[in-house]
Structure 1
Amino acid sequence: MYQNNIGDRMKIKYAAVLALLFSMASPAISAGHQQDYDPAEGRCNFWDDASLKTLTATLDYADQVLPNIPPEEDRYLTAESTAAQKVYEEELKKNNWKAPAQSQGNTRYAALEARPLYTVWGVRNALAKAKLSIAAILDEGSGTGFVTYRKNPDAAKLDRALHAIYPLDAYALSMQALLTKQTYVPQSHKIMLTADQWSKLYGGTSTLTTNLGYYMSCKLAKVMGRQSF
C-alpha cells in the first residue's frame, strides 16, 4: 500500500535528521589544546525560536494554495477511509499479517483514490497535523512532549521538536506525492497550480525536516552549555 511506502521513507528521513542533529552539536576538537567551547555560538544565530516562523510560513502558504474540501466530501472521505483501513487490517489479521491476493480494503482505497479530491484531502489532513506540531514547540502547555522539563525550557522545546518530526515529514512526503502525481493524473483530477506555486510548494517541503533539524541542533547546543575539552 502507498501508506507503507511513505512510512518507510519517513523512517529513513527520521534517522537522517537525528544524525544531522548530533553531528552539528559535536565540536571539532584540536589535539593537545584545552579549549572552552560554547556549541550554541553560531548554531543559534539563524536557527533559534524565531526560525520556526519560516516553517510556519511554508505551511501557511500550502494552506492558502491547496483547494478546500467541501464539508460533505470531507465527511464522506473521512468515514470511507476509516472503514477501508479497518477492512484492510482485518484482512491482514485473517491472512497471518500478509497482504491478501484479493483485498476488499484495497478495492475500497482504489475507489477513494478515483475521487478527484481524495489526495488533496489526505495532504490537508497531514498539513493540519504538521501546523499543530510546529505551534506546539513553543507552547509550554501543549502536552506534546515525551518528558516534562520544568527547569530547562530549551530541553522541553527540543523534546517537543522531536515530537514534530513525524507529522512534519508525513506532510512533506504526501505533498511531494501529490505534486508528482499532477504530471500524469487525468485532467479532472489535476489541481489548479501555476508553475511558480508548484515550485514553491515542492521546494518548501524539501527543506522542512532539515530546517527543523537545524533548530533542534540549536536547542541541543543550549542544553549542553559551555564545554571544556
Structure 2
Amino acid sequence: MPHLDHLTVIAPTLREGVDHVRDCLGLDMPFGGRHPEMGTYNHLLRLGGDVFLEVIAVDPEAAQPVHPRWFGLDEAAQVRRDWDAGRRLRTWVAQTPELDAILGRTCPLLGRSRRVSRGDRVWSFGVRDDGALPLDGLAPCLIDWGERGCPAPAMPDLGARLASLVVEHPDPAEVERRYGDLGLTGAITIRAGPRFRYEAVVETPTGIRILS
C-alpha cells in the first residue's frame, strides 16, 4: 500500500525554500541535487527512518523540459501566490512498489509514470500530463524508488524527526474518503480547518517545531 515517503515544500526559488525551513526548524538543509528530466533541483532533510523533507524549485541553469515540470512548477505565478499566502508545505509523496498498477487505475488524477534521476539514482514518479499537483496537492504524488529504495537512510542525520503530518481541510470526511479510495497508509492526522493546508510537527535538537 502507498505510504508516506517525503514532504515537499514548493518554493519560488531554492534559497527562499531553504530559508523558510531554517526559520521554522532551525536547521540548514543539505543540498540534494538536480533533476535533468524536470529542470529542477532540491535540498533534502532526513526526518527519521525512511522519511524526509524536500525543498524543490525550478533550476534556473537547467534546460526547459520537453514536457511540463512536476509539482506545478511551470506555473511560476501560482507558485508565488501560494508562497506569499503561506501555502509552502504544499504536498507529500507516497512510496509504492505498485506504481504502474495504481496509476493505471487512477489516471489522469495521479498522472503517468516518468523516469526521473538525480546523480546516479534513477526512479519512477507519477506526473500528470499538465504537471499539476493532484487535487491541488491534497492527493500525494506517487513514487517507486526501485531496487535501491528510499535514499533517506543515507542522508545526513541532523536530529530532525517527523512527529506528525497534519492536513487541515474544511471537509475532513472528504479527505478521509479520498485517502481511503487511494489506499493510503501512514500516520497522517486529518482535522477541520478554514482552508486546506499542511502542517508538519517536527522534533528537532532545539525542541518541537512546526513547518507549514
TM over 0.5: no
Q: Which of structures 1 and 2 has the bigger CA Rg? A: 1
More strand as a share of residues: 2
TM-score normalised by length of structure 2: 0.28
More helix as a share of residues: 1
